[in-house]
Amino acid sequence: MNVQILKLLAKDARMSASDISTVTGLPEIEVVNEIQQMKKDGLIRGFRTVIDWEKLDEFYVSAIVEIKVTPKAGLGFEDVAKKIARFHEVESVYLLSGDSDLSVIVKCKSFQDVSRFVAKELATIESVTSTKTQFVMRRYKELDVDLDVTDPDQRGVVSSC
């Protein structure tokens, strides 16, 4: 495991092994092997792109669905959380402290699709006692990326300071 590599990849998943090698001082082959190993160990689970879907006409609709659950004896929330995670429409599932038990991020093509999915698939799960669906109106920041920034570089071209 190499935390420095993880930190660099967390910031930029496209960073090449050669650039990582330059920054960490490790030989390139070692970087490649290390990343392979961390994938194998389940430390690195995937590489995604942060996209501002709102820039497209055909964008996705997301909702945060808060779910209350009657935990099953012996299984707690595990069983239902894993079941929910299997759905294609579900982007994330978190176990929460506080009022709700699970927070589920659902992504569909339209508001209707989200409603239908929640009503048909999530609300009907046996131990689910209630759902509260909150549509995402606008994204400002995602995975550390500020989606709101459109300011061009205000600095000049050259300076001596």
Partner 1 sequence: MLNYEAVLNNTITEIQPSGIRKFFDIAATMKDVISLGVGEPDFPTPWKIRNAAIKSLERGRTGYSSNRGLNELRAEISRYMLRKYALRYNPDTEILVTVGGSEAIDAALRSVINPGDEVIVPQPSYVCYVPMVKMAGGVPVIVNNRAENDFKLKAEELKEKITDKTKAIILPYPSNPTGAIMEKKDYEEIEQVIKDTSIVLISDEIYSELTFNGKRHVSPASVGSLKERTVVINGFSKAFSMTGWRLGYTCGPEEIISQITKLHQFAIMCAPTTSQYAAVTALRDCNDEVEAMMEEYDTRRKLMVKGFNDIGLECREPEGAFYAFPSIASTGMKCEEFCEKLLAAKKVAVVPGTAFGESGEGFVRASYCYSTDHILTAIKRIGEFISEI
**Residue 150 within binding range of partner 1, rule CB under 8 A:** no
**Residue 97 within binding range of partner 1, rule CB under 8 A:** no
Q: Rg of the chain's alpha carbons, rounded to an integer?
A: 21
**Residue 73 within binding range of partner 1, rule CB under 8 A:** no
How many other β-carbons are positioned within 10 Å of the β-carbon of residue 129? 11
**Residue 49 within binding range of partner 1, rule CB under 8 A:** no
Q: Map the footprint of partner 1 across residues 3-22, applying CB under 8 A.
A: 7-8, 11-12, 15, 19, 22
Q: Which is nearer to partner 1, 28 or 79 (CB)?
A: 28
**Residue 1 within binding range of partner 1, rule CB under 8 A:** no
Q: Which is nearer to partner 1, 20 or 104 (CB)?
A: 20
Q: Provide the b/e sequence for 102-126 (b: ≥16 CB within 10 Å).
A: bbbebbbeeeeebbebbeeebeeee
Distance, in Å, from the CA atom of 153 to the CA atom of 150, rounded to the nearest integer, reads: 9
Q: Which is nearer to partner 1, 18 or 112 (CB)?
A: 18
Q: How far is CA 118 from CA 85, 109, 113, in A?
A: 13, 14, 9
Binding site for partner 1 (CB under 8 A): 7-8, 11-12, 15, 19, 22-23, 153, 155-161
